[in-house]
Amino acid sequence: MNRAVAAVRAEGLVKHYEGGDGTVEAVRGVDLEVRRGEIFGFLGPNGAGKSTTVKMLTTLLTITAGRAEVMGTDVAQDPDAVRRCIGVALQEAGLDPRQTGRELLTLHGRLFGFGKAEAAARAQELLELVGLEEAADRVTKGYSGGMQRRLDLAAALVHEPEVLFLDEPTTGLDPASRLTVWDEVRRINGRGTTVFLTTQYLEEADQLCDRLAIIDDGRIVREGTPESLKAELSERRGEEVSLDDVFLDATGRTRDRAAGEVQEVGA
Amino acid sequence: MSATLTLGLRSLREALRQPDALFMTMFIPIFFLVVNTGQAAEVFPSSSTGFLEGQGYGAFQLPITLLLAASFGMAALFLVEEIEGGYFDKLRAMPIPRSSMVMGRLVAEAVKGLVLSSVIVLLSLPFGITIASGPIGFVLLILLSTLWGVVYAGFMQLIALKTRSAAATNSGGLIFFPLLFLTPNFVPRDMLAKPMEVAATLNPVTYLMEALRSLILTDLDWGKILPGFAVVAVLGAIMLALNVRMIKTYD
């Protein structure tokens, strides 16, 4: 591993929860490296440990064992330094339903230490970026699912983070909204931001990601570029394969068993 | 501007956008004031009831009205809604002090408490209630009511942070609610039946109520006022310590 270029690095990352039925091993030793400037896809069935891993990397969950670094900073040792260089859009578009889009973005600017005028200007810039100028002064409760996702994305970009974590950013969106989010992700990445993207949509990973890792049952079971992963399986099987086949091969699932866990949905 | 103040201003805006909640916070306590006074004023006429200090029974009931209003804060419910909706995690992913996430809401509760308590007391004046301890007493009355509101809201926030459920937070509030009534709210403590007197003596809210009542009915009586402030100081310190600990270990 080249330590100098890693935007995100995890070594032996483990998360255990204590539940009523005993200890739940949500993540069982994840090793991964995300290079600066790439879009890294993190795939896995429901309950595989994707969101738990993201929450550990973004300081939202404590780490049971192992270690993680974001832009060279240890997540557990200096969480505030990590928080300053990451943007986070989690699975559910977490928005304050009683604030307008503009108020929410301005608030985030203020919380990141911007002055009043600077926060207002940044909010306006982001509203234009995600095409929400007309809805800017309406409370977010009335936003459609697509608008909420775009605003959530904008909120994650307020402080121009070096690494953007997107946890299933297109789940539940219609095809048009999904395409809009894809365009935004490409545009953000084009400006130099590293993107860590979890998704259930294999088509999305194939379209967007430079490299990806597949997690199953709390462990990484495949890692590489979409092309290299397909080429490796294709060579083994002696036939053309898709990323869906790679996923099924990696997780030991059949198409029937995978239905509802990972979806082959195109935009 | 500090994160606590920034989040406090947001919580105030949030409260102003939920005027129905503010209305209920005012309506229910005033309803109890009117009903309780109406039911018992004939039993305790001011002319022959020594503990009223020459005022009507409404003056004796005003403290429970203030305590009720202060205990109807919405901070915990807004917080749990934020936890359930995912926005709380968005805030947690920011480089702001963990304590500001709970303290911001308490700052807003303090501002709301100051306004609501002042309005209730001012509304009571035309009905013959006077603040016998004068302008200083008025300020202390509002301050003590407000501080109690902040303490109560803080304990409710603890339930919200622990359970992360609106239903559980609502139910949890019912645990604290009886404390408001295990007090000498209809007659002075020495006139209560013995078991009730013991319960009221053990209940810290009693000292708060007696402090508020003394500010309304008599001149500044520090022997009654200071225990009230001591109760909010001790409970407030416990509440703050538990809130900060809870938010710092929130996973």
The predicted-structure confidence for B60-95, as pLDDT tens digits, reads as follows: 999 999 999 998 888 899 999 999 989 999 999 999
Average pLDDT of the residues in A43-62: 93
- pLDDT (0 to 100) of residue A5: 61
B14 interfaces chain A, CB cutoff of 8 Å: yes
Looking at residue A38, its pLDDT comes to: 96
Q: Is A118 on the interface with B (CB under 8 A)?
A: no
Reported in sequence order, the residue ranges of A39-91 that DSSP labels E, i.e. its strands, are 39-43, 65-70, 73-74, 86-89
Contact A92 B86 (CB under 8 A): yes
Q: How far apart are CA B180 and CA A13, in angstroms?
A: 49
Cβ contacts from A onto B, under 8 A: 66
Beta bridge partners of A256: none
- The pLDDT score that the predictor gives to residue A192 is 93
Lowest average pLDDT, out of B18-27, B107-116, B188-197, B216-225, goes to: B18-27
The mean per-residue pLDDT over the stretch A202-230 comes to 94
d(CA B20, CA B28): 12
What residues does each domain of chain B span?
3-248
Shortest distance between the Cα of B77 and any Cα of chain A, in A, equals: 13
Distance of alpha carbon B95 from its chain centroid, rounded? 32
Q: Is A258 exposed, middle or buried (0-12, 13-18, 19+ CB in 10 A)?
A: middle
Q: Is the pLDDT of residue A102 over 80?
A: yes
Q: Give the global pTM.
A: 0.87
Say whether B95 and A155 touch across the interface (CB within 8 A).
Answer: no
Cα angle B184, B178, B142 (rounded to 5 degrees) comes to 65
Q: Closest partner residue to B94 among A91, A112, A152, by Cβ?
A: A112
User: What span, in angstroms and rounded, lies between the C-alpha atoms of A107 and B115?
Assistant: 25
A113 vs B177: which has the higher pLDDT: A113
Give chain B positions within 8 Å (CB) of A92.
85-86
The answer, for A26 touching chain B at a CB cutoff of 8 Å, is: no
- For residue A267, pLDDT beyond 60: no
Q: Tell me the mean pLDDT in the region A129-138.
A: 93
pLDDT over threshold 70, residue B189: yes
Q: Which of B122, B176, B186, B184 is nearest to B149 (CA)?
A: B176
pLDDT surpassing 50 at residue B151 = yes
- Cα distance from B185 to chain A (closest Cα, Å)? 37
Q: Is the pLDDT of residue A95 over 70?
A: yes
Contacts of A99 in chain B (CB under 8 A): 10, 13-14
In this complex, do B89 and A112 lie within 8 Å of one another by their Cβ atoms? no
For the segment A228-260, what is each residue's pLDDT rounded down to a tens digit?
999 999 999 999 999 999 999 998 876 655 555
pLDDT higher at A88 or A177: A88
- What are the boundaries of each domain within chain A? 6-93+196-253
> B7–A111: do the CB atoms touch at under 8 Å?
yes
Give yes or no for residue A77 having a pLDDT over 80: yes
Residue window 33-62, chain B: list those with CB within 8 Å of chain A: none
Contact across the interface for A88 and B90, Cβ inside 8 Å: yes
Q: Encoding tokens for residue A177?
A: 């909204």
Residue A254: what pLDDT?
Answer: 64
The domain A6-93+196-253 is placed in CATH, from the list 3.20.80.10, 3.40.640.10, 3.40.50.300, 3.40.50.720, at: 3.40.50.300
Q: State in Å, rounded, how far the first CA of chain A is from the last one.
A: 34
pLDDT in tens, B5-14: 999 999 999 8
**Residue range A59-88: mean pLDDT, rounded:** 96
Q: Quick check: B127 pLDDT over 90?
A: no
Look at residue A262 and tell me whether its pLDDT is greater than 70: no
Q: What is the pLDDT of residue B1?
A: 60
**Residue A120 DSSP label:** H
Does residue B56 or residue A262 have the better pLDDT?
A: B56
Query: Tokens standing for A244?
Result: 């869906």
B85 touches chain A (CB under 8 A): yes
CA A242 vs CA A225, A239, A247, A249, B157: distances in Å = 13, 10, 9, 11, 50
- Which residues of chain A lie closer than 8 angstroms to B108, CB-CB? none
User: What is the pLDDT, as a whole number, of residue B228?
Assistant: 98
Check residue A2 and give its pLDDT: 47
C-alpha A10 chain-centroid distance: 15
Report the DSSP beta bridge partners of residue A194. Answer: A163
Which of chain A's residues have a Cβ under 8 Å away from the Cβ of B87? 94-96
To the nearest whole Å, the CA of B87 is away from the closest chain A CA by 4
Mean pLDDT of A91-115: 92
